[in-house]
């Protein structure tokens, strides 16, 4: 996946999906404008013009990256939730969701750290579609918290929406420092869930 793949086999076989993965890395590390066709190509071991065989434009790649990232992330989180035992308590479901989210955001989901910054740069109608994906994601967490409230596990307050924003922010920002080789996403999820549920104050 690194470079010079055509030296061994004559077919370079740089798949379209590999290009997405490379692009996702670059977006995360260099931003939208810093993610150039030539840099993507270089990472893939091909030339910039060759990318146009796979994708029609830079914007199409970006679009695919954002879409795939957030869709796949949500899918994995939902799947993790579905695999939990039937009557699992809120605390457990909450922690599992955080773990799955941290994992996807950081390994595969290095993809879709689609910040306002990125949304400001991509074409408007493309941005609009992605903005809606983000609303879906937010709704997932809102629903989860709502279940917790109905179970009586967590306190509801008028500021619940704000608290959710802070919590999601904490998880999203983790891409800035997370190193999965030191702590697994599940270990980190324990810490985050404990922080969000109990706080740091002594009882």
Residues that bind DNA (CB under 7 A): 6, 10-14, 35-39, 41, 45-50, 52-54, 56-59
Stretch that binds its own copies, among 6-14, 48-56, 79-87, 159-167 (CB under 8 A): 159-167
Q: Does 188 bind its own copies (CB under 8 A)?
A: yes
Q: How far is residue 109's CA from residue 20's CA, in Å, rounded to a whole number? A: 11
C-beta of residue 93 within 8 angstroms of C-beta of residue 84: yes
Q: Does 152 bind its own copies (CB under 8 A)?
A: yes
Q: How far is residue 108's CA from residue 97's CA, in Å, rounded to a whole number? A: 16
Contacts of 72 (CB under 8 A, 6+ apart): 104, 108, 109, 111
SS3 for 103-125, per residue?
Answer: HHHHHHHHHHCCCHHHHHHCCHH
Three-state SS at 59? helix
The entry of its own copies, DNA, none near residue 11 (CB within 5 to 8 angstroms by kind) is DNA
The entry of DNA, its own copies, none near residue 199 (CB within 5 to 8 angstroms by kind) is its own copies
The entry of its own copies, DNA, none near residue 46 (CB within 5 to 8 angstroms by kind) is DNA
Stretch that binds its own copies, among 52-60, 61-69, 122-130, 161-169 (CB under 8 A): 161-169
Q: Say how many Å lie between the first and final Cα of the chain, rounded.
A: 51
Q: What single DSSP character describes residue 101?
A: H
Of the two residues 87 and 152, which places its CB atom closer to its own copies in the complex? 152
Interacting residues with its own copies (CB under 8 A): 28-34, 91, 115-117, 120-121, 145, 148, 152-155, 159-160, 162-163, 165-177, 183, 188, 191-192, 194-202
């Amino acid at each position: 996946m690194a470079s010079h793949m055509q030296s061994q086999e004559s077919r370079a076989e740089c798949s379209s999906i590999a290009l997405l993965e490379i692009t996702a890395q670059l977006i995360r590390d260099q931003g939208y404008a810093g993610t150039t066709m030539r840099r993507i190509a270089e990472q893939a071991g091909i030339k910039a013009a060759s990318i146009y065989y796979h994708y029609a434009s830079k914007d199409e790649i970006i679009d695919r990256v954002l879409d795939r990232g957030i869709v796949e992330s949500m899918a994995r989180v939902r799947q993790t939730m579905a695999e939990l035992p039937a009557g699992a308590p809120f605390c457990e479901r909450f922690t599992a969701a955080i773990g799955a989210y941290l994992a996807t955001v950081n390994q595969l989901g290095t993809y879709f750290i689609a910040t306002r910054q990125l949304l400001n740069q991509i074409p408007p109608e493309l941005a609009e579609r992605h903005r809606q994906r983000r609303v879906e994601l937010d709704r997932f967490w809102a629903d989860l918290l709502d279940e917790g409230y109905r179970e009586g596990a967590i306190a509801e307050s008028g500021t619940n929406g704000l608290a959710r924003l802070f919590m999601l922010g904490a998880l999203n920002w983790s891409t800035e420092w997370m190193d999965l080789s030191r702590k697994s996403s599940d270990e980190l999820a324990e810490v985050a869930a404990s922080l969000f549920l109990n706080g740091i104050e002594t009882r």
